[in-house]
């Protein structure tokens, strides 16, 4: 079947999520395909941010307990709203910190080297910040990261095989940290299987959900995952610098936080000002400091949208619109040096298309010059992320036509084939 613009128009007519596009600020004459790096601002997120500012303006210090969104309970309230997106009970999720701060907290809490079980298992394709944090934690214990951080090898530089991960789950491994979705290729790891196998061998396991939360459904509690952490500025549209999130399985409640701070207190005890911590009996125990209220507030509006749209519906459209994109790429760009570097199987495919080309950096610049916003990942990846809540099939059609024109006219040749400071 030859795909046409008429197909795109009909898919947009049939799209049951199309009404949510009007919720977002979309720049005129621009196609935004970078929602896997930073989601767009929604009108509801703007509204709840301004409500928080007005709360400060009208209540001053009393904003902690008064107003529409009292600050003292804001992280817990957002945890309640976010729990369905990660498949957890409400007290297992808290919105706090940042991705890397939360990773430090969780490793400091759950990494307990003992005897020969002293190593941490990760992978060679994970986001660098995670590796930096794991190196740091190992050094605190006096271990050499070169010998104590085991990184599972990729067979092809794109994907990880669960069998390879399971094979290195030895009795020397104390903790496992893996991504839910690989940030370059978009591969989804089989979290349920990996958790089951880790627990068979007595190993705790946690996941970095930065590239999956808000794009795919999760069942952390059902899978018995020990802990997870993520950012909220990508698919969840929480805004630049948005506060992150973490999940702790309720079976671990009571475990002392490795990095203790006063916002990990039981709420009714927090202002007793005692020098002994009475920690919260929930994921709230793993908060450290005062919540960043103005960076939390946009999530109130954003998560309203997710509750209305439904994560299953979001996933259904995400798979469909990305498949449409891949089919168009194959149809329109044959013999132009492109290859698709993400999984094709729906079960293994996350929320973006990973398009590979030796001129990727300069092609990205040419796309931006034409009003299309992708992102680049070294050495040769153009990430394209149609987002279910605000991207249209006609935009996908137009993107591929522009990309075809860029290649035919060699528009990319006027740019250097190197990334900008921010890729």
Q: Are residues 21 and 164 in the same domain?
A: no
Beta carbons of 393 and 325 less than 8 angstroms apart: no
Cα(130)–Cα(219) distance, integer angstroms: 22
Residues 176 and 52 in one domain: yes
Q: Which strand (E) or helix (H) includes residue 176? A: strand 173-179
**In the chain, how many domains are there?**
2
pLDDT at 10 (0 to 100)? 98
Distance in angstroms (rounded) separating the CA atoms of residues 211 and 183: 6
Q: Which residue has the tokens 């994970």?
A: 126
145/140 Cα distance (integer angstroms): 10
Bridge-based pairing of strands 227-230 and 204-208 is parallel
Strand partners, 216: 213
User: Structure tokens of 170?
Assistant: 């030895």
Whether 18 and 94 share a structural domain = no
155 domain-assigned: yes
Contact assessment for residue 227 and residue 203, using Cβ atoms and an 8 Å cutoff: no
CA 355 to chain centroid, in Å, comes to: 19
- Which residues on neighbouring strands pair with residue 95, listed in sequence order? 245
**pLDDT for 56:** 97
Q: Which residue, of 257, 276, 308, is where some domain finishes?
A: 308
25 & 96 share domain:
no
Query: Do 286 and 368 fall into the same domain?
Result: no
Q: Are residues 360 and 295 in the same domain?
A: no
* pLDDT at site 145: 98
* Residue 175, domain member (yes or no): yes
Indicate whether 109 belongs to any domain.
yes
**Treating both helix axes as pointing N-terminal to C-terminal, what angle do 128-140 and 99-110 enclose, rounded to 10 degrees?**
40
Q: Using CA atoms, how far apart are residues 12 and 331, in angstroms rounded to an integer?
A: 20
At 314-337, the pLDDT tens digits run 999 999 999 999 999 999 999 999
Same domain, 370 and 282: no
Per DSSP, the residues of 65-120 read TSSSS-GGGHHHHHHHHHHHHHT--GGGEEE-S-HHHHHHHHHHHH---BTTB-EE
Give residue for tokens 């259904």: 316
Q: What's the CATH code of the domain at 115?
A: 3.40.640.10
Answer whether 130's CB lies under 8 Å from 276's CB: no
Instruction: Please give the Cα distance from 99 to 211 (Å, whole number).
Output: 11
* Same domain flag for 237 and 141: yes
Residue that terminates a domain, selected from 272, 290, 308: 308
Quickly count helices (H) and strands (E) in the chain.
13, 13
Q: Can you list the residues of the chain whose pLDDT is less than 70? A: none
What's the CA gap between 129 and 123, in Å, rounded? Answer: 13
CA neighbours closer than 13 Å in the CB half-sphere of residue 325:
29
> Could you tell me the CATH number of the domain that includes residue 356?
3.90.1150.10
Q: Are residues 131 and 205 in the same domain?
A: yes
Residues 197 and 334 in one domain: no
- State the number of CA atoms in the 13 A half-sphere of 17 facing the CB: 25
Q: Is residue 58 part of a domain?
A: yes
Q: For residues 202-223, b (16+ Cβ closer than 10 Å) or e, as one string?
A: ebbbbbbbbbbbbbbebebbeb
Same structural domain for residues 95 and 116? yes
Structural domain span for residue 232: 47-308
Whether residues 324 and 287 fall in one domain = no
Cβ 208 vs Cβ 245: under 8 Å: no
Of 274, 308, 342, the position where a domain reaches its end is 308
pTM value? 0.96
What would the DSSP string read from start to end of 344-389? -SGGGB-SSEEEE-TTHHHHHHHHHHTTEE-EEETTTEEEEB--TT
**What φ, ψ does residue 160 adopt, rounded to 5°?**
-115, 145
Could you give the C-alpha distances from 347 to 17, 216, 323, in angstroms and in order?
22, 10, 13
């Amino acid at each position: 079947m030859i795909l046409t613009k008429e197909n795109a128009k009909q898919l947009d007519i049939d799209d049951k999520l199309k009404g949510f596009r009007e919720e977002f600020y979309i720049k005129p004459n621009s196609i935004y395909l970078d929602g896997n790096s930073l989601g767009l601002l929604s009108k509801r997120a703007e509204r709840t941010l301004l409500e928080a500012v007005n709360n400060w303006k009208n209540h001053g210090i009393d904003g902690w307990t008064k107003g529409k969104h009292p600050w003292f309970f804001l992280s817990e309230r957002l945890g309640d709203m976010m729990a369905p997106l990660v498949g957890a009970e409400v007290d297992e999720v808290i919105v706090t910190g940042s991705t890397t701060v939360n990773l430090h907290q969780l490793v400091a809490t759950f990494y307990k080297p003992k005897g020969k079980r002293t190593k941490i298992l990760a992978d060679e394709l994970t986001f660098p910040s995670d590796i930096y944090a794991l190196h740091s934690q190992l050094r605190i214990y006096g271990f050499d990261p070169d010998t104590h951080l085991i990184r599972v090898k990729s067979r092809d530089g794109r994907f990880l095989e669960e069998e390879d991960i399971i094979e290195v789950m030895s009795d020397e491994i104390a903790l496992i940290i893996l991504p839910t979705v690989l940030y370059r290729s978009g591969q989804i790891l089989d979290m349920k299987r990996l958790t089951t196998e880790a627990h068979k061998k007595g190993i705790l396991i946690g996941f970095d959900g930065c590239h999956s939360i808000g794009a795919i459904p999760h069942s952390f509690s059902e899978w018995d995952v020990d802990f997870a952490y993520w950012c909220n500025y990508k698919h969840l549209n929480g805004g630049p610098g948005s506060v992150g999130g973490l999940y702790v399985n309720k079976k671990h409640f009571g475990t002392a936080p490795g990095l203790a701070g006063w916002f990990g207190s039981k709420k009714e005890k927090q202002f007793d000002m005692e020098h002994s911590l009475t920690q919260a009996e929930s994921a709230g125990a793993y908060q450290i400091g005062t919540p960043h209220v103005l960076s939390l507030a946009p999530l109130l509006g954003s998560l309203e949208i997710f509750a209305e749209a439904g994560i299953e519906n979001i996933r259904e459209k995400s798979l469909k619109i990305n498949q449409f994109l891949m089919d168009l790429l194959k149809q329109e760009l044959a013999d132009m040096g492109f290859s698709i570097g993400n999984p094709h199987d729906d079960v293994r495919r996350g929320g973006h298309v990973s398009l590979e080309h030796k001129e990727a950096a300069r092609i990205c610049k040419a796309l931006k010059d034409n009003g299309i916003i992708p992102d680049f990942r070294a050495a040769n990846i153009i990430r394209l992320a149609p987002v279910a809540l605000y991207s249209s099939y006609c935009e996908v059609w137009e993107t591929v036509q522009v990309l075809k024109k860029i290649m035919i006219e060699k528009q990319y040749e006027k740019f250097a084939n190197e990334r900008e400071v921010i890729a």
